[in-house]
């Protein structure tokens, strides 16, 4: 029997509590949007956050820490796997991702699985959708399924020599990825005793986190790993440790444990590894296992020779284990003083440089003024933006919309 007193107080009868699955939907078609919302309502599941499928909307809404499942509709996509890969940096690693698409191919399923995404073939019924969502949610509770493979992309910025601008480029790249591309990043400083990553990032009165004597890397958990980070902004953090009583290899191992723990909490790990750190030429160093290596050289004979040595280390890896290589030539002095030409650099490295950064005459003024080189009026800003686009897999002139539209069809 209904309790009329309670109804009068609340204005409506007691409702069945919604099933708690926090999710977000980014749609391309009204048909998909309507089916998802009706399915959730019918089953009594908390309705998802709903927004149109654009870069801006994804980066704005999907960062909510409460979002467990993100549903991405790609029914209008010409290549589901490629479009999913292109937006993967916008999606937080903590969320499970369901891609809905009308591309019926085993290769699509396989490629999405490698990204750690689920795939649901369209058209679907409401019951099929809800069963799939509940299955994904159950996998999350049991720590299984494709989503468990979603880890941050490791990008190692390798300086062929000390002084070629490795730290400055690491800082600009992390800024562009976090503030422009809206991807969460952790910058890892491998210069344990000195370095100027704090200056390059515009951090004032910064001190490296000191590893206490008796601290053991294998006892770290997520909370303790987070406490070692300096949070520069909502999407950008810095890991910079020092350990006067530990050897460099021990400190590197400690770094590695922190990075492994945090790799499920962000989109990119940016490793600042200058040749001055003394670890660049170690054949078994972890940087060789990166997803992407950005090799920085200056137009000098000595820098170019060392760049060739590093490139050879990468090429000697088995093809299946070889990371993507991006070659950057950074002019740290005016171009007229370069001892080797761009043509000679390309010929020696046996590949064309992917990015060339021109000499920045007001470099010190920009950095010490707390500004970003990528926002500078100098022509070098375009080079930094091009590098960030290469890292996330965009074209040199990426479209502002999430997916390319086909105009003027024949």
Q: Is residue 7 part of a domain?
A: no
- Identify whether residues 159 and 200 lie together within a single domain: yes
Give a yes or no: residue 115 inside a domain: yes
Find the range with the poorest average confidence among 42-51, 159-168, 211-220. 211-220
Q: Does residue 66 or residue 184 have the better pLDDT? A: 184
Q: How confident is the model at residue 212 (pLDDT cuts 50, 70, 90)?
A: confident
Looking at residues 192-210, what average pLDDT do you find?
87
One domain, residues 62 and 168: no
Are 221 and 178 contained in the same domain?
yes
Residue 311 within any structural domain of the chain: yes
For the chain, give the mean pLDDT: 85
The mean pLDDT of 99-128, rounded to a whole number, is 93
On whether residue 260 sits in a domain, the answer given is: yes
Question: Is residue 299 a contact partner of residue 328, using CB atoms and an 8 Å limit?
Answer: no
Residues 92 and 205 in one domain: no
Neighbours of 224 (CB within 10 A): 12
Over the stretch 327-338, which tens digit does the pLDDT of each residue have? 999 999 999 999
Q: Does the residue 410 lie in any domain?
A: no
How many domains would you assign to the chain?
2
Q: Do 143 and 159 belong together in one domain?
A: no
Q: Are residues 252 and 335 in the same domain?
A: yes
Same domain, 101 and 187: no
Tally Cβ neighbours within 10 Å of residue 221. 8
| Range of the structural domain that residue 57 is part of | 20-149
- Indicate the helix (H) or strand (E) that contains 111: helix 106-115
Residue 352 is predicted with a pLDDT of 95
| pLDDT bracket for residue 74 (50, 70, 90) | very high
CATH number of 230's domain: 3.40.50.300
Residue 13 has pLDDT above 50, yes or no: no
**What is the C-alpha separation between 106 and 119, in angstroms, rounded?**
11
Higher-confidence residue: 282 or 268? 268
Of 149, 171, 204, which one is at a domain's C-terminal end? Answer: 149
What is the percent of the chain with per-residue pLDDT over 90, rounded to a whole number? 49
pLDDT band at 90 (very low <50, low <70, confident <90, very high): confident
Asked if pLDDT for residue 202 goes beyond 60, the answer is: yes
Q: How far apart are CA 410 and CA 366, in angstroms?
A: 49
CB 188 within 8 A of CB 158: no
Do 177 and 276 sit in the same domain of this protein? yes
CA atoms within 13 A on the CB side of 286: 18
0.85 exceeded by the pTM?
no
For residues 159 and 303, membership in a common domain is answered with: yes
138 and 161 both lie in a single domain: no
In a domain, 178, yes or no: yes
Digit-coded pLDDT (tens) for 347-377: 999 999 999 999 999 998 999 888 999 998 8
Which burial class, exposed, middle or buried, applies to 291 when counting CB atoms under 10 A from its CB (0-12, 13-18, 19+)? Answer: middle
CA 134 to chain CA mean position, Å: 27
Within-domain flag for 217: yes
- Residue 2 confidence (pLDDT) above 80: no
More confident residue, 10 or 305: 305
- Higher per-residue pLDDT: 160 or 94: 160
Predicted confidence (pLDDT) at residue 390 exceeds the cutoff of 80: yes
pLDDT attached to residue 97: 94
Which stretch, 9-23, 114-128, 274-288, has highest mean pLDDT?
Answer: 114-128
Helix (H) or strand (E) holding 185: strand 185-189
Report if residue 383 sits inside a domain.
Answer: yes
**Is 318 found in the same domain as 177?**
yes
Kindly report the CATH number assigned to the domain that includes residue 48.
3.40.50.2300
- Answer whether 273's CB lies under 8 Å from 157's CB: yes
Q: Are residues 117 and 174 both part of a single domain?
A: no
């Amino acid at each position: 029997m209904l309790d009329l007193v309670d109804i009068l107080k609340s204005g409506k009868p007691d409702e069945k509590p919604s099933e708690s699955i926090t999710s977000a939907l980014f749609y391309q078609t009204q048909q998909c949007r309507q089916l998802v919302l009706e399915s959730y309502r019918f089953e009594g599941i908390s309705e998802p956050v709903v927004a149109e499928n654009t870069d801006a909307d994804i980066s704005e809404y999907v960062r909510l820490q409460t979002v467990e499942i993100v549903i991405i509709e790609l029914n209008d996509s010409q290549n589901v796997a490629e479009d999913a890969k292109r937006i993967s940096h916008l999606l937080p690693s903590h969320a499970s991702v369901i891609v809905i698409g009308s591309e019926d191919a085993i290769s699509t399923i396989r490629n999405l699985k490698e990204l750690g995404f689920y795939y649901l073939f369209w058209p679907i019924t409401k019951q099929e959708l809800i069963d799939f969502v509940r299955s994904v949610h159950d996998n999350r509770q049991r720590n299984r399924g494709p989503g468990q493979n979603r880890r941050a992309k490791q990008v190692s910025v390798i300086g062929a020599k000390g002084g070629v601008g490795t730290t400055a480029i690491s800082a600009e790249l992390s800024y562009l990825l976090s503030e422009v591309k809206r991807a969460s990043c952790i910058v890892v400083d491998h210069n344990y005793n000195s370095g100027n990553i704090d200056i390059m990032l515009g951090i004032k009165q910064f001190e490296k986190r000191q590893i206490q004597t008796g601290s053991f890397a294998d006892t770290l958990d997520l909370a303790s790993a987070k406490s070692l980070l300096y949070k520069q902004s909502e999407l950008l953090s810095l890991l910079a440790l020092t350990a006067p009583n530990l050897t460099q290899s021990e400190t590197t191992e400690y770094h590695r444990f922190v990075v492994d723990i945090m790799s499920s909490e962000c989109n990119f790990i940016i490793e600042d590894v200058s040749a001055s750190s003394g670890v660049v030429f170690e054949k078994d160093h972890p940087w060789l296992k990166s997803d992407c290596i950005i090799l920085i050289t200056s137009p000098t004979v000595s820098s170019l020779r060392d760049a060739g040595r590093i490139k050879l280390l990468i090429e000697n890896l088995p093809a299946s284990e070889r990371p993507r290589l991006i070659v950057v030539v950074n002019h740290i002095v005016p171009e007229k003083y370069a001892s080797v030409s761009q043509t000679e650099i390309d010929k020696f490295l046996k590949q064309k440089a992917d990015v060339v950064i021109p000499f920045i005459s007001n470099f010190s003024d920009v950095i010490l003024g707390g500004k970003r080189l990528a926002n500078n009026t100098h022509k070098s800003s375009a080079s930094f933006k091009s590098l960030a686009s290469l890292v996330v897999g965009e074209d040199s002139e990426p479209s502002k919309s999430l997916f390319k539209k086909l105009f003027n069809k024949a």
